[in-house]
Amino acid sequence: MIPNSILVTNGKGGVGKTSLVANVAGLAAASGWRTLAIDTDPQGNLARDLGVLEAADDGTNLHEAILGRTSLAPITSVRDRLDLAPGGPALDGLTSEIHTIMARGQYLTALTLLETALTPITGDYDLIIIDSPPGERALQTLAARAAHHLVIPTAPDDCSIDGLGAVFGRFQHLRTEGGNPELNMLGVALTLTVTQATAVQRRVRHTLSELLDDRVEVFASTVRFAQAAAVACRRDGRLAHEYEQVALNAEPRYATTGPVEAYSRAATGLASDYQNLTNEILTAHTNHQLRRPA
């Protein structure tokens, strides 16, 4: 188990998981935390969100490091104090390779592959945040075996909440029988919310409270559904607070005769959402770390 690590995962895609990882990592680094973001998803979108897709290796180094063939070598200085171990298509075959190792009777070795790859560089960082794929159970388990803390993002729809329930069941199994009794649930993050739909949010929080039996915190801060801003952020490789600054500094239409890019008016609200949620996540992480026995 890597003490300073947070895993962000859900059993369903399309809940804003990778965008959450990118923004939490970027904001943590901006506030002084030496941060490593790790993308275990074969889609490799974390490098796109951080604007370094051309420098990424499609997950080749991470794949080889997990299998013990090389040392993990993240892309450094993606932002000040932020490094990235990118994912991508090279991770596609990792599940079958993990199963092969298990079939040889090396079950515990297979479960600790990511933890083993991370251990030599753990001391270089204050925070390691891991993005895991929604549909790859073996890769989710690998990441959960290495992680100390868990954050589950969910959209306010039944399918996403069902995915959350599946992950919570796996979390309980990992704590009791999967070799990681120190895996700690930091909380559930509501994403893709419509800010005006307070009744919907109340209903979702009530459903989550019943589903999780009041054992898990649902963070007070939510991330709004702001499609235009989110699409622009991913397209340009900007985090929400970076997009907000570009939008605020853009020349008004009346000040130029040339083409002017239209920026979403939701930029400031989206940036604020991510900042507030990041504050909650990092506070929960810090408080739990302080309560750990020396």
Spatial CB neighbours of 27, under 8 Å, sequence gap ≥ 6: 239, 241, 274, 275, 278
Token representation of residue 179: 């070799």
pLDDT at residue number 181: 83
Residue 5's DSSP bridge partners are 128
Residue labelled with tokens 């954050």 = 151
* 7: β partners: 130, 150
Q: Domains plus CATH for the chain? A: 5-225 (3.40.50.300)
Residue 134 has a pLDDT of: 76
State the pTM of this model.
0.88
- Give the per-residue pLDDT at 216: 74
pLDDT string in tens for the chain (294-residue length): 899 999 998 876 778 899 999 999 999 999 999 999 999 999 999 999 999 999 999 999 999 999 999 999 999 999 999 999 999 999 988 888 888 888 887 767 778 899 999 999 999 999 999 998 876 677 888 888 899 999 988 887 777 777 677 777 777 777 776 678 888 888 888 888 876 667 666 777 777 777 666 667 888 888 988 888 889 899 999 999 998 888 787 655 545 554 546 667 778 889 999 999 999 999 989 988 776 655
Q: At what angle do helices 267-291 and 240-249 cross, to 10 degrees?
A: 150
Q: Helices 240-249 and 17-30: crossing angle, nearest 10°?
A: 70
What is the structure's pLDDT at 282? Answer: 95
The runs of H, that is alpha helices, within 42-197 are 45-49, 60-66, 94-103, 107-111, 113-118, 137-146, 158-176
> Amino acid identity of 227?
Q
How many whole angstroms separate alpha carbon 60 and alpha carbon 128? Answer: 19
Sorted by sequence, the CB contacts under 8 Å of residue 130 that are 6+ apart come out as 5, 6, 7, 8, 21, 37, 38, 40, 143, 146, 147
pLDDT of residue 254: 47
